[in-house]
Amino acid sequence: MMMSSADSKSWRACSKNKKERPLRTIVNGIGTPTERMAHLAERELNDYVTSSPSYIKDTTDFLIQLEALKKDDSFPENPILFCFDIVKLYPSIPKTEGLAACKVALEKRSRKDIHTDAVMEMIKSVLENNVFAFNNESYHQIEGVAIGSRLGRNYACTYMRSWDEELAKFQLQPYVYKRYIDDGFGIWTHGQEKLDEFYKYANSIHPNIKVEIRYSREQIEFLDTVVKLHHGKIITDLYTKPTDKHIYVQCRSDHPNSTKRSIPYGLGLRIKRICSEETGYLKHRRELKHNLRKRGYSSKFLERELSKVDKLKRSDILGYRHRENEIDRVPLVLTYAKQLPDVRNITHKHMNILHKSEKLQKIFKSPPILAFRRGRNLGDVLVHGKHNKIFKEKGKPEVTCSPKCKICPLIMRSSSLKTNNTTVKLNQYHMCKTWNAVYGIRCDKCDQFVYVGETERSIGERLKEHLADVTHGRNKSVPNHFNQNDHSIKDIKIAILERCLENSRYYRKTKEIFWIDKLNTGMPLGLNKKSQLGVLWPDY
């Protein structure tokens, strides 16, 4: 890695299925200057990737290919099942060989609407400008491709097709050889000793590409499938990782009912598709129901949805659904909330209003199709590729928002302070513009907090009012205190005690009462009147 400037966001993902739990840097290329080039180059490589003899699209494609294998009358006796994994494929792809493989792929396109040299320049730009920030430092990736780049998958698969061709030069070949990006599956018929030689040869193709292999004569796990050999017959079953916690959407979660209904049905469909034996399906069906019951779903609800799956034949769902006609309806996309009315019925009911316009009648031939987007959740709020610099800053915070500000110099900047035998932690980065907060007024002469208040407005606005009260000698508790003979306005210091999470008067008053009690500013020791404390609870 080389140091460079970086704007792209990155995360560190831990691989749960590895014993050593390696960390992988995942770079988010969304919104970067190379994003569109990566998308276009990915599209141009796609046909070459999907036409590879070893290509597997997903689990369904893998199962379809296994079903075809079952019909083969020449299936060998006592074969060895093996799986392999390319260690850290994306960052390990050699640049020269990767670009050469892309050149071959682009030259084999049936349609060359974009010249090969132009696409190659795009690929080089994407690879050479992968910069990202992690732990407050910037990095430039000089080998491989970024995990998270739009180009990543097809660039890796294009190189791996050329790697497959080198592997095919070994003297003996597998009876079956299939690969899903960096995970491979095969059936070997030449004995374990020759399989070991095949494995060593695979590791000798390029020093960057390291292969790990597993094999068995009985069963092996590949993707989310367990492939078993039983009396010369291939059987498939569902595979779940030991680390899988089955944390499905809670029944009480704020999701559309259609989403909740689709969870047991979709998961049941997956089990039905993968399990070739009815006993395996029933076993995993019971486990699924048990796991969903723990997430709050009722037994009656689950049985209703899973019974729909029970009625289906595996042969009917072992494939892809192809829509004959595209949906010619305008989508109405809304952020989902439980408080929404019945939008679908409303749109159907009032279509006549839209159809009064000839132009809109052509656009909305049918009622719009309703689609929900997810609202912001805790993950969106708390997890960011780049952390706000305020969390990383060291040293003294800003003293004032502007040279002319009269409030910021009065704000206490200590990280904590002791008062009335109580330690109060303060946020050093609050300024006069902080709003929706609880504040404390401290008297330097008395060496203690004397008043606690709350405001929806900015702290600066509220405290200017307090200072004006003192200056004009108004008959209020705060100015009366600081206008005593041995006090002055210079004795005032401000502490922003808490920035409230909820913008409501009830919430702020609750927090105000908490701080009045904590700092002991109620009369007679402080300036807060009892009537203030009884706003929420009259018996206070």
pLDDT truncated to tens, each residue of the chain (540 aa)?
A: 333 344 555 545 555 555 555 666 667 777 788 889 999 999 999 999 999 999 999 999 999 999 888 877 778 888 999 999 999 999 999 999 999 999 999 999 999 899 999 999 999 999 998 887 777 778 888 888 888 888 999 999 999 999 999 999 999 999 999 999 999 999 999 999 999 999 999 999 999 999 999 999 999 999 999 999 988 889 999 999 888 888 898 888 888 888 999 999 999 999 999 999 999 999 999 999 999 999 999 999 999 999 999 999 998 898 887 765 656 788 899 988 888 888 889 999 989 998 888 888 888 888 898 888 888 888 877 776 665 554 444 445 555 677 788 888 888 877 777 766 777 777 767 788 888 999 999 999 998 899 999 999 999 999 999 999 999 999 999 999 999 989 999 999 999 998 888 888 888 999 999 999 888 899 988 999 865 545 554 443
pLDDT of 438: 94
CA 534 to chain centroid: 45
pLDDT of 2: 35
- Parallel, antiparallel, or unpaired for β 211-216 and 183-188? unpaired
With H, G, I as helix, E, B as strand and everything else as coil, classify residue 499.
strand
8-state DSSP, 491? G
Calpha distance 252→204 (Å, rounded): 54
pLDDT of 18: 57
| Closest among 407, 493, 405, 477 to 445, alpha carbons compared | 493
Per-residue exposure over 457-477, b if at least 16 CB sit within 10 Å of its own CB, e if not? ebbbebbeebbebbeeeeeee
Residue 125, CA distances (Å) to 6, 232, 532 in order: 15, 51, 65
Residue listed under structure tokens 């749960």 = 16
pLDDT of 35: 87
Residue 352 carries which side chain, given as an amino acid letter? N
Calpha distance 224→202 (Å, rounded): 24
Which residues partner with 422 through β-bridges? Answer: 419
Phi-psi region of 405 (alpha: psi -120 to 50; beta: other; left: phi over 0): beta
Judge residue 42's burial from the number of C-beta atoms within 10 Å of its C-beta, 0-12 exposed, 13-18 middle, 19 or more buried. Answer: buried
Calpha distance 124→100 (Å, rounded): 11
pLDDT of 501: 80
